[in-house]
Amino acid sequence: MEIPIKIIQASKSDLAEVETLQASSFPAEKQQPSHILEESIRKCTDTFLLARDENQLLGYILSSPQLDNPQCLKVHSLVIDTDHQRQGLGTLLLAALKEMAVELDYKAIRLESPDELLSYFEMNGFIDEETSLYAASQGYSMIWFNPFYLEVQ
């Protein structure tokens, strides 16, 4: 019997699990401090999404409105537990975030992609914003446009 994966919004009770998953995924200098994660849970409830099975947190995606363009969401992190990578959870979380973007009337989702994940994000409907190649992170600025937003224009 397969255990269903649920995509839910983060709550304060998830903070310890989010911190544990983050600690196992990033070096200390790249981790968000606990108070920032807690604030994100409070302020970005609609766009801080978790992938869970019945027993544990398997991954999360954290995004918020972009400071310089509040009609767009910016993905701050997409984290999948090491034992559950390459099983479609990242794609599932991205799809759920796209649904939220449509529901909340955001026009786009932006993220920064390292070279090695460029094809993954392209497969998930993101395109390279060619003008925004930034050398410091050796990555690409990627964007997904809300098709319903584009229809209205």
DSSP secondary structure code for residue 55 in this structure? S
Q: Output 18 or 55, whichever has higher pLDDT.
A: 18
* Distance (Å) of CA 91 to CA 30, 78, 139: 23, 10, 19
pLDDT digits (tens, 9 = 90+) for 55-95: 899 999 999 999 888 899 999 999 999 888 998 999 999 99
7: its two tokens: 């995509």
Q: Residue 122: which pLDDT band, with cuts at 50, 70 and 90?
A: very high
- Res 136: pLDDT: 44
Q: What is the pLDDT confidence band of residue 135, given thresholds at 50, 70 and 90? A: very low
Distance CA 127, CA 106 (A): 17
Over residues 69-78, the pLDDT tens digits come to 889 999 999 9
Query: Quick one: tokens of 39?
Result: 């604030």
